Amino acid sequence: MPALFGQAVKHTYRFYKTLEVAQPECGPALTPVTALGSCPASATDGTFVSDVLPCGVQRTVYQNNLNWGLMYPNTEGAITDNYTIQMYIKPTDWGVTWARIIDFSNGGSDQGIYFKDKNGSKDRCIDFYPYGIAGACPFFNTNTYYLLTFTRNGQTGIMDVYVDNMLFASYNDKDGRYVGKPGTPIYIFRDDQSVSCESGRANFGYLSFSNQFLAKSDVEQSFNEICFTANINPNADFAIIPYAVCEKDQNVEIKYTGTIPVPGNGYSFEWDFDGAKIISGSGMGPFLINWETTGPKKVALKITNLKCNNEIINIKEASVSDLSLTTDLVPGSCDKTSEGTLTISGKGGQLPYQYSIDSVNYQADAVFKLMPADYKVYLKDVNGCVVNKPIKVEFSSNINVQTIADTTICAGDPVVLTTNSNAQTFAWEAQPGLDNPNAKDPVARPSITTQYVVNASLGVCNARDTVTIRVAPPVEVKVTPDATIDYNVPYQLIASSPQVTNLNDGKFLWSPPDGLSDPASPSPTATLQSDQTYTIEITSGMGCAGKGTVNLRVRRREHLNVPTAFSPNGDGKNEVLIPVVNEISSLSYFKIYNRWGQLVFFTKELNKGWDGTFKGEAVVSGAYVWAIEGVSSEGRVMKREGTVLLIK
């Protein structure tokens, strides 16, 4: 639902090993998404890594992988024409040339806010594509945390961009190109499909979305408080699980939830459990304890920095109750239409008691009139402590009914609802997909997840049982389109399914395996010398499968070219720049020049390449110009020129 006029909406994310919205706010979780287009992305979206923020706090931050970003669903309409997006990030990899920062178009447009180089600079600028660079340029590096604030005034159409507490640039967005719509996602560090591979990588320590415009004084306050804002959890925080202990000798977990990383080097942890017996745990914990007596209990944690002896103390209180229940049952009879009488009695805890047979609806009356069935009765005291006990109400003409356990099927598959019962008649309440709603063991073929309820009758007694048949969606397969590829040149295949968002939960199998780098990978490369049709079968974690095919046609023709990049960094991968040739009998020359026009490499040998050195010394990273001339096997002279990016 879009935000009401004037109502403040703010969603904050601190990335403490989660992409969920920070408590106590209510809001959507961030979702990792791959870049659109054909740029290959790693199998995982990113990792949670340890980093030290400028204020000296060491904490967990989120680091996205290249060609992965984060999706904010904007379901409440926080980002429309009047908004603020703040991110506390440290860029760690600029990608190739462009790196998308924010996309308001749901991946439908290439226009957006980017990091961009200038004339091949190592550092980056901010670019409001397609309108150009704004602010100081180049400015941003890969070693610094920046508080970036993008705040747009919906009345004037002006977007102000702040870096830390400095007004970096103001952009007149009178055409509304950088506005959001309720329900349309906002993407962070995720590229569209118009131009592939325009993605970067960063460490995320803080991210917020708000429907409020910030003045300069507000931004300055945000910057002054960013260390606290990004690290709101206190160091000495811990959890008592459960908080209300309902029985003495019940095991209780004391779990440290502060920001000091395990194993807590440089700190001492002193715990006081108010006389509890320690079952397990030491140092930072977690601890498993129990108290042998009832009443209020205090748990205290003191953390001392061993370097400066500064300390912090946190005290929380738990309550130990000794609550129990007993029942008395007077049976009824199905034949005589009388109900059974169940009386619940409580002991311990704190009065007054409340009673229930469904854990939802409680009453002060301890007496229940019940038909024959299996029940679980509940007793709750004033502190909210609850105990329960199973009870079977049996009549002289006892009735029982039990259908199959909840199960999951693939879309289109049948399942028999086998039911054990001594009843005489049956009626199923949810009938979609049932072949006979009055049968004891009907066959269900639901198209969507359905809960079936069977009502069994014996005389005047009725009993019910419920089963949920979850229907796994059909596995949709998206695969690389049919293509014509070069002879003996690796070609990237990519297969995916909306039903397999976590690759670890799915299974991929390409067939036949001929020419593939890894038939079990979702994105193998195919190196072919003849035409080939591949079939990809994707199996979801629920065991459902779908198939897709791709036809590859191999072109054999004269070909002379040079790769666009190589990395002579000693890792054994892509170390030498070698021309890619097909049907070429000889080379007239293969030359490489640096940016000053100096010749750094020359050869006439077909299989000889440049190893990234000049006069025995490794050259610097950057772009180099190449020129090549060769003679095809049919005597045709071919010439090519271009640039190659040397990456270390």
362-379 residue pLDDT tens: 999 999 988 778 899 999
Q: Which helix (H) or strand (E) holds 230?
A: helix 226-230
Per the structure, the complete domain to which residue 498 belongs is given by 478-555
Residue 294 is assigned to a structural domain of this protein: yes
39 pLDDT band (50/70/90 cuts)? Answer: confident
> Does residue 454 sit in the same domain as residue 585?
no
CA gap 480, 545 in Å, rounded: 18
CA gap 210, 85 in Å, rounded: 6
> Does residue 17 sit in the same domain as residue 152?
yes
Domain boundary among 334, 363, 393: 393
Per-residue pLDDT, averaged over 296-320, amounts to 81
Q: Which helix (H) or strand (E) holds 315?
A: strand 311-320
The share of the chain scoring above pLDDT 90, in percent, equals: 56
In tens, the pLDDT along 191-210 reads 888 777 788 999 999 999 99
Instruction: Report the DSSP beta bridge partners of residue 166.
Output: 163
Is 160 a residue whose pLDDT tops 90?
yes
500 or 643, greater pLDDT: 643
> Does residue 494 sit in the same domain as residue 372?
no
> Cα–Cα–Cα angle for 636, 642, 645, nearest 5°?
135
Give the rounded distance of the alpha carbon of 514 from its chain centre.
34
Q: Can you give the pLDDT at residue 555?
A: 74
The share of the chain scoring above pLDDT 70, in percent, equals: 95
Which CATH number belongs to the domain containing residue 80 in this structure? 2.60.120.200
Ramachandran bin of 490, using left for φ above 0, alpha for ψ from -120 to 50, beta for the remaining angles: beta
Is 397 a residue whose pLDDT tops 70?
no
Domain boundary among 279, 303, 320: 320
Domain boundary among 472, 490, 521: 472
Compute the Cα dihedral for 206, 207, 211, 214 and give only its sign.
positive
CA gap 142, 554 in Å, rounded: 42
Residue 112 is assigned to a structural domain of this protein: yes
Q: Is 233 exposed, middle or buried (0-12, 13-18, 19+ CB in 10 A)?
A: middle
> Does residue 38 sit in the same domain as residue 141?
yes
> Does residue 489 sit in the same domain as residue 532?
yes
3-state secondary structure of 466: strand
Residue 147 is assigned to a structural domain of this protein: yes
Q: Can you give the pLDDT at residue 428?
A: 92
Which CATH number belongs to the domain containing residue 243 in this structure? 2.60.40.1080
CA gap 168, 124 in Å, rounded: 14
Q: Can you give the pLDDT at residue 286?
A: 95
Q: Can you give the pLDDT at residue 2?
A: 37
Is 387 a residue whose pLDDT tops 90?
no
In tens, the pLDDT along 474-492 reads 889 999 999 988 878 899 9
Q: Can you give the pLDDT at residue 502?
A: 85
Which CATH number belongs to the domain containing residue 536 in this structure? 2.60.40.10
Q: Can you give the pLDDT at residue 4?
A: 37
> Does residue 548 sit in the same domain as residue 605?
no
Torsion of CA 478, 484, 488, 489, to 10 degrees: -70
Give the rounded distance of the alpha carbon of 186 from its chain centre.
15
Preceding peptide of 263 cis, ω within 30°: yes
Domain count within the chain: 6
Instruction: Report the DSSP beta bridge partners of residue 152.
Output: 83, 159
> Does residue 355 sit in the same domain as residue 486?
no
334 pLDDT band (50/70/90 cuts)? Answer: low
Residue 533 is assigned to a structural domain of this protein: yes
Tokens of 282: 């030491």
Residue 220 is assigned to a structural domain of this protein: yes
Query: Can you state the percent helix, strand and coil of the chain, rounding each to 5?
Result: 5, 45, 50
> Does residue 613 sit in the same domain as residue 541?
no
Which CATH number belongs to the domain containing residue 354 in this structure? 2.60.40
Torsion of CA 172, 177, 181, 183, to 10 degrees: -130
> Does residue 293 sit in the same domain as residue 382?
no
The one-letter amino acid at 454? V
Q: Can you give the pLDDT at residue 3?
A: 38
Residue 512 is assigned to a structural domain of this protein: yes
Is 234 a residue whose pLDDT tops 70?
no
**Contact status, residue 341 vs residue 365, Cβ threshold 8 Å:** no
> Does residue 224 sit in the same domain as residue 260?
no
Residue 530 is assigned to a structural domain of this protein: yes
Q: Can you give the pLDDT at residue 233?
A: 45
Q: Can you give the pLDDT at residue 433?
A: 87
Q: Can you give the pLDDT at residue 476?
A: 92
> Does residue 268 sit in the same domain as residue 310?
yes
> Does residue 60 sit in the same domain as residue 204?
yes
In tens, the pLDDT along 530-563 reads 889 999 999 988 888 999 999 998 876 778 899 9
Average pLDDT, the chain: 88
Is 601 a residue whose pLDDT tops 70?
yes
Per-residue pLDDT, averaged over 65-76, amounts to 94
Q: Can you give the pLDDT at residue 97?
A: 84
Residue 529 is assigned to a structural domain of this protein: yes
Q: Can you give the pLDDT at residue 338?
A: 66
